[in-house]
Structure 1
Amino acid sequence: MSAPTSPQRLLPDIASEAQAGHAGALDGVGMQRIEMPVLLLGADGHAQRVSARVDAFVNLAREDARGIHMSRLYLHLDRHLSAEPLTPASLRRLLRDFLDSHAALADRAWVRVRYDHLARRAALASAHSGWRAYPVELRASLHGGEFMLELGLEVQYSSTCPASAALARQLIQDRFAADFDGHGPLQRDAVLAWLGRADGIVATPHSQRSAATLRLRLAPGFELPVEDLIDRVERALQTPVQTAVKREDEQAFALANGQNLMFCEDAARRIRGVLAADERIADFWLRAEHYESLHPHDAVAIATKGVPGGYAAS
């Protein structure tokens, strides 16, 4: 004889209870740093899965509601992000589901997705290549039917100080004048030998690893141009950090630095020119930060597109 089955118990739902004693609307309620894989479309059109950290929020517009349904946010994230590639359209659908599942509670939703974009980079001179990981942050919001998408990127590069280069050249001139004073007509072979000596080139300019941080408000009607934008910024700077490096690559890198001397102001203007000419970018904010080797503080330049009501410098 089988045991009788008990009826399914209703589980308490405390979050849905009204709380008059501490009532009030809240600007945002949700979860941060959710571990979640996301699908990305590669340059070849194939989807690849990468690890991400996701923040998911809605506002709590109903003043007497105690809380939102966080499990619903999580389940929507899991369903959307694991099933379809990350695109502006898929993010909009995700946020629409956030709001539909909180129809009586919220009228605004947003999500932030952070991951590393992996790109294969060829060496400058040798036949080798290696991987670079570029930090990416996507922030999408939906409010009153208005969808907004912001793309954040970081690109690392090398910067060689123009002032330091000029000072180094002066010291080299002084040493050359001292070493060849009174020697009569200069001989080509003697000058070549001097140029190859460590005590001839007595000074070198200082260089440092630098970073360009970008916040881009994307115009509607375009997909996510992550790798293309990274490529454009690196081409403008001419000195992106490298992956696989043999001696010939290091020499080519030294040449690129010598031909692209730049203050942080120069770097910011180069990047600004690229972003301002891109129709996919409705607004932008950028920071060129040079981690100085001369002193312990950093040199920084900031630029914006100058859209009324858009990004501000601070």
Structure 2
Amino acid sequence: MNVHGKIDTPDANEAKTALETLRAWAALADPVEVARLDPAIARLLPGHAVANYPDLSRQFDPDFKVDEAYKASLPDLQNGPASLIVGAKTRIEHVGISNFRLPVRFRTRDNGDLTLEASITGTVSLEAEKKGINMSRVMRSFYSHAEESFSFEVMEAALDDYLDDLESFDARLMMRFSFPVKRPSLRSGLEGWQYYDIALELIDMGGARTKVIHLDYVYSSTCPCSLELSEHARATRGQLATPHSQRSVARISAVVEPGECLWFEDLIELARAAVPTETQVMVKREDEQAFAELNAANPIFVEDAVRVFAQRLLAEPRIGDFRVLASHQESLHSHDAVAVLTEGQTFGSASLDPQLFASLVHRG
């Protein structure tokens, strides 16, 4: 039996002597022998690498060409067997890419063309026994149609491509962009560009397809109660008072009925007809006065807002199911007044996204 006594902690001089001894031995020893003792010893020798670590090139080779044989040798973990799945082996409803950008050409209602920067989200379903998807295929499918004037039909062609490539059952494609419309001022005759946040969404669930247009409409909401209280102060006490109003945002999501064409401009005009107090672009004094009069003629609670939007949507035969979200970002309160109204099954949900109303902002 070997009995080891307590080893005293060496001081700096003893450690230095031991290091010199180790270096002297390692400098003369076989590299394999050094590695067997401890590969880290090689790092103590000037100009030496760890013996069992490969000598890799650190220079990028711009002339290296990939041939088919080399490409076939590349590992592809996402298309690996189910045994590589990490976590629960369950179906994933949506997996893909979000917010890849490219210029997209759109046709306008007056037969013009607009090229706009679009943010694209493309996803597919993933069955429980599949490890993953090759996400670049979503982009490649979309790029193959990038030179066309976009419509729901072109989106369907892109979606068909990556559904086939990825061998999925369900898929979703969304394009977000800011759509410009020239708007006149109320009285001065000036004009300016109003920008509308719009998203086109194409959903394929088991072969059944749904086309949705989302529009953010920004308007001023004057509180009807505050308006009456202000008038009461004027009438009974001769007291000048102003009602509170605030910038407000409605997000209208409308399913386009099969075979119908709903232009962006059509949905914008529908929203403006429902709530005419849209925020203004070019304003002189006469326009500001006119806007005050327009607000006084159209005071509106958030409950009123979603209902008047719904009234117009229900009367439009090209629109099926819809949802209206509204947020009146109160100037009186330190909180917002919000409402949600849905028609049909497409947008029905027992739960709300925690950030749903926080997304109803005008970015300017």
Smaller-chain TM-score bracket: 0.7 to 0.9
Amino acid at match of 2:110: D
Partner of 1:84: 148
Distance 1:7 1:204, change over 3 A: closer
Residue of structure 2 in register with 1:172 after alignment: 234
Q: In 2 relative to 1, CA 107–309 (structure 1 residues): closer, same or farther, beyond 3 Å?
A: closer
Deviation per CA, 1:170-206, whole angstroms, max 9, x where unpaired? 1111234xxxxxxxxxxxxxxxxxxxxxxxx611111
- 5+ residue gaps, structure 1, are 177-200
Instruction: From 158, 174, 181, give the equivalent of 1:112.
Output: 174
1:72 maps to a residue whose letter is R
Deviation, 1:6, is 10
TM-score where L is the length of structure 2: 0.72
Task: Decide whether the 8 Å contact of 1:151 with 1:217 is kept in 2.
Answer: yes
Deviations 1:15-46 (CA, angstroms, capped at 9, x unpaired):
33324242734333211111122221113212
**Cα distance in structure 2, aligned partners of 1:6 and 1:283:** 51
1:94-131 deviations in Å (ceiling 9; x for gaps): 1111111123xx12111111111111111111111101
Q: Quick check: 39-48 or 116-125, which moved more?
A: 39-48
CA distance in 1, matches of 2:107, 2:126: 34
Residue 289 of structure 2 is aligned to residue 257 of structure 1: no
In the alignment, which of 124, 127, 131 is matched to residue 66 of structure 1?
131
* SS of residue paired to 2:116: strand
Query: Alpha carbons of 1:143 and 1:263: their partners in 2 closer, same or farther (altered >3 Å)?
Result: closer
Greater RCO (Cα-Cα under 8 Å, separation 6 or more): 1
Does residue 203 (structure 1) correspond to residue 235 (structure 2)? The answer is no
How far off is 1:87 after superposition?
1.5
Q: Does 1:231 align with 2:269?
A: yes
- Find the partner of 2:309 among 259, 268, 271: 271
- Percent of counterpart pairs with the same letter? 34
- Counterpart of 1:36 in structure 2: which amino acid? L
Paired residues for 1:24-173 under 5 Å: 24=89, 25-61=91-127, 63=129, 65-80=130-145, 82-103=146-167, 106-173=168-235
Over alpha carbons, which structure has the higher Rg? 2
Contact kept in structure 1, 2:109 and 2:263, CA below 8 Å: no
Which position in structure 2 is the counterpart of 1:16? 79
Query: Following the alignment from structure 2 to structure 1, what is the Cα–Cα distance between the partners of residues 67 and 346?
Result: 58
Shift of 1:165: 1.1
- The count of corresponding residues between Structure 1 and Structure 2 is 281
Q: Aligned equivalents of 2:135 and 2:314: distance in 1? A: 40
Change beyond 3 A, Cα 1:13–1:281: farther
Alignment partner of 1:213 is 2:275: no
Q: Give the residue type in structure 1 aligned to 2:95.
A: V
Gaps of at least 5 residues in structure 2 are 1-64, 353-364
Give the 3 Å change call, closer, same or farther, for CA 297–148 of structure 1 in structure 2.
Answer: same
C-alpha offsets along residues 30-77 of structure 1, whole Å, 9 cap, x if unaligned? 1111112222111321221101111111122261x4322222211111
Choose which of 275, 287, 292 in structure 1 pairs with 2:325: 287
The SS at the match of 1:20 is: helix
Q: Quick check: 2:262–2:318 contact (8 Å CA) kept in 1?
A: no
Tell me if the contact between 1:160 and 1:257 (Cα under 8 Å) persists in the aligned partners. yes
142 and 7 in structure 1: CA distance in 2 versus 1, 3 angstrom threshold: closer
Give the CA deviation at 1:270. 1.2
Change (3 A) 1:283 1:309: closer
Across the aligned residues of Structure 1 and Structure 2, the Cα RMSD in angstroms comes to: 2.1
Query: What amino acid maps onto 2:317 in structure 1?
Result: E
User: What amino acid is the match of 2:261?
Assistant: E
Letter in 2 for 1:10: Y
Deviations 1:126-166 (A, max 9, x none): 11110111111222122332111122111011111111111
Shift of 1:310: 5.0
Closer, same or farther in 2 for the Cα pair 1:147/1:6, shift >3 Å? closer
Superposition deviation, residue 296 in structure 1: 0.5
